[in-house]
Amino acid sequence: MLGGLAALIVIPLRREKPGKWAITIGFASLGPLFILYLKAVEYMGAGLAAILLYTAPIWVIVLSPLFSEQVSSLGILAAIAGFLGVVLISLPAMKLGEIIGLLMGLGAGIAYASYMLFARRASREGASTIETGLYSQLFAAVEVSLIIHPTVKPNIYDLAGMLYLGVFTMIIPYMLHVRALSLTKAYRVAIVSLLEPIGATILAYMLLGESLSLLQILGATMVLLSAALVSLKP
């Protein structure tokens, strides 16, 4: 909601109106991403949810033909390895809640992949960083608010957390991410982004007491390696 509020402030200041890419990315990518990813964290924990989110480069390979992009044999091999990694991660998920979390985590990965593909397409067609990185958050906020409703009134600590999440995990990062996609090759951005699931898993262990089984560690390693392999293709 804070990202959407920032967009509402910037739009009249710049005397602009959101274009098709802001609407498409907000409704089709960012909104579903936020809903599914946070629900996956709720069901599975932060570490596994972050790893499943970074199946995104694999889904990029699957979805690339829809965006008129060629897929190399190396990319197909990486996609197969990543799929096997997801299977290993999901094997211990025998409880219903964990299976739901698994599906939501994979859905978040697909939504993230569509975000990257849409953002790249928008950049190639001349859309600005503000258009794709900030204005899209307005439409994502509308979609999220229609599906997720707060159950309690926020206290002062909640408001501080909301401010941090809105500014430092939404507005600034997505502006920088879209800017990076417009300035350098997508594979470089993807490689740097792989620090997120690794960092999230370590922090989830240190701060939240979460842990992974040996099968899940092996599966996570395969997912991250396959994502890096996809990112390193010419």
How does pLDDT run across 185-203, given as a tens digit for each residue? 665 676 667 667 767 777 7
On whether the pTM is more than 0.85, the answer is no
To the nearest whole percent, how much of the chain has pLDDT over 70? 85
**What is the pLDDT at residue 108?**
93
The yes-or-no verdict on residue 58 having pLDDT over 90 is: no
For the residues 202-207, what does the mean pLDDT come to? 79
* Single-letter amino acid code for the residue at 65: P
**What is the pLDDT at residue 90?**
64
93/101 Cα distance (integer angstroms): 9
How far from 209 is each of 37, 47, 196, CA to CA, in Å? Answer: 20, 10, 18
Average predicted confidence (pLDDT) for the chain: 82
Give yes or no for a contact between 187 and 217, defined as CB atoms under 8 angstroms apart.
no
Q: Which two tokens stand for residue 24?
A: 């498409």
To the nearest whole percent, how much of the chain has pLDDT over 90? 25
By the 10 Å C-beta count (0-12 exposed, 13-18 middle, 19+ buried), 151 is classed as exposed
75/57 Cα distance (integer angstroms): 9
By the 10 Å C-beta count (0-12 exposed, 13-18 middle, 19+ buried), 9 is classed as exposed
Give the pLDDT band of residue 66 (cuts 50, 70, 90): confident
Model confidence pLDDT, tens digit, residues 20-36: 999 999 999 999 999 99
Which of 193, 177, 191, 197 has the alpha carbon at shortest distance from 52?
197
For the residues 53-70, what does the mean pLDDT come to? 77
For the residues 79-90, what does the mean pLDDT come to? 73
25/139 Cα distance (integer angstroms): 8
Task: Classify residue 65 by its DSSP letter.
Answer: G
142 vs 48, higher pLDDT: 142
